Amino acid sequence: MASRRIYYLAKNFAYPLGGVRIIHHHVDLLVKNGYDAVVLLRQDEAQHFFRSQVPTMVAGRNMSITASDIFVVPEPWNDILRGLASSPARRIVFCQNHFYVPNGIARATDYAAFGVSTILSCGDVIASALRDIFGLKHVPVVHNAIDHTLFKPGAKRLQIAYMPRKMRKESDYIRMSFKRRHPRFHAVPWVPIEMIQEAEVARILGESAIFLSLSHLEGVGLPPLEAMASGCLVVGFGGGGGLEYATPQNGFWCRQDDLSGCADALARACTLAHDDREAHAVRVAAGRSTAGRYTLQRMERELLDFWRTELAQ
């Protein structure tokens, strides 16, 4: 369909990262719709946390860059933006987290200093922040998505699933406070999710009644949405970008610094799950409805609209 090659720059980290998954979703959907798109890796490293069959290549010094190429660069990668500044290719910044923008522009005034033509975002909070920071009139949004064929409810048990990577000390404090302040639920299992494949994440979420959200400085925050889709009652923090979807109806959301309050909210969630199945089901249903907006089908529509407009310029 499109003769121009679209390079989505990425890096495979030693831990699972939602932003990498989203890049693979973009490239996969573009290829399926006839676009010449590829994941361009900074280093020759494999990723082990999700299944993907998208076209992939490794960047090299002898790579030939032409005016027909389009590079989609993550928002914090200042060195890549500087390296491409004098190239004939079009540059687009794909901002998945507005909190990382200072890393990307570094000492420059804005992304335009590197010849960036467009800033694409993946969430409403991100787009609003970019408009406020740079005075942009329009920031295209291709909303994040989760795979609802993978993240879905299973046979539930009263356990608390959580991903401690971003708030490890805080999660230890919350867990201690929960057990000390609410001894009735002392025996409720806590199941950490880290360094495992996406399918195993989905299995744990599918069987867990409660998910502790430890979102911190997020652009959107995928884990709470994955948990909602999996039928968990979500308790915890929105991390900034979670304001896009967090409501009083779909979870027990806490102030970012209120760790003891978060422990108490977990106890309320446990009480609902154990004693009031009807009230628990209402909140879980609200969460599933929220997550139901974040589909690959919507991502595909918005992504194709974006690229049709971009390539027409």
The CATH number that applies at residue 281 is 3.40.50.2000
Do 38 and 115 share a structural domain? yes
**Same domain membership, residue 171 and residue 129:** no
Q: Quote the domain boundaries for residue 54.
A: 5-145+295-312
251 is a domain residue = yes
Interatomic CA distance for residues 123 and 116, integer angstroms: 19
Q: Let me know if residue 250 belongs to a domain.
A: yes
Does a structural domain hold residue 128? Answer: yes
For the stretch 7-36, pLDDT in tens is: 999 999 888 889 999 999 999 999 999 999
**What was the pLDDT predicted at 2?**
47
Residues 175 and 138 in one domain: no
User: Which pLDDT belongs to residue 113?
Assistant: 96
Residues 136 and 180 in one domain: no
Residue 266 lies in a domain: yes
Cα Rg, the chain, nearest whole Å: 21
Is the same domain home to 98 and 46? Answer: yes
Same domain for 73 and 19: yes
Collect all residues with Cβ–Cβ distance below 8 Å to 47 and sequence separation of at least 6. Answer: 12, 13, 20
CA–CA gap between residue 266 and residue 236 (Å, rounded) = 8
Give the CA angle between residues 151, 162, 196 to the nearest 5°.
65
pLDDT band at 250; cut points 50, 70, 90: very high
- What percentage of the chain carries pLDDT values higher than 70? 99
1: pLDDT confidence band, cut at 50, 70 and 90? very low
Residues 233 and 307 in one domain: no
Considering the domain architecture, whether residues 170 and 136 belong to the same structural domain is answered as no
Q: Based on the fold, state whether residues 138 and 171 are members of the same structural domain.
A: no
Instruction: Tell whether 40 is covered by a domain.
Output: yes
Residues 123 and 197 in one domain: no
The pLDDT, as a whole number, for residue 49 is 84
Q: Are residues 299 and 287 in the same domain?
A: no
Does 48 reside within a domain?
yes
First-last CA distance in the chain: 16
Asked whether residue 152 is domain-assigned, the answer is no
Residue (of 277, 217, 310, 297) closest to 32 by Cα position:
297
176-212 tens-digit pLDDT: 999 999 999 999 999 999 999 999 999 999 999 999 9
pTM beyond 0.85: the answer is yes
Burial class (CB in 10 A: 0-12, 13-18, 19+), 169: exposed
Total domains in the fold of the chain: 2
Question: Do 114 and 189 lie in a common domain?
Answer: no
* 150 falls within a domain: no
pLDDT at residue 104 tops 80: yes
DSSP string, 187-245: T--EEE--S--HHHHHHHHHHEEEEEEE--SBSS-HHHHHHHHTTPEEEEE-TBGGGGT
Q: What mean pLDDT, rounded, does the chain reach?
A: 95
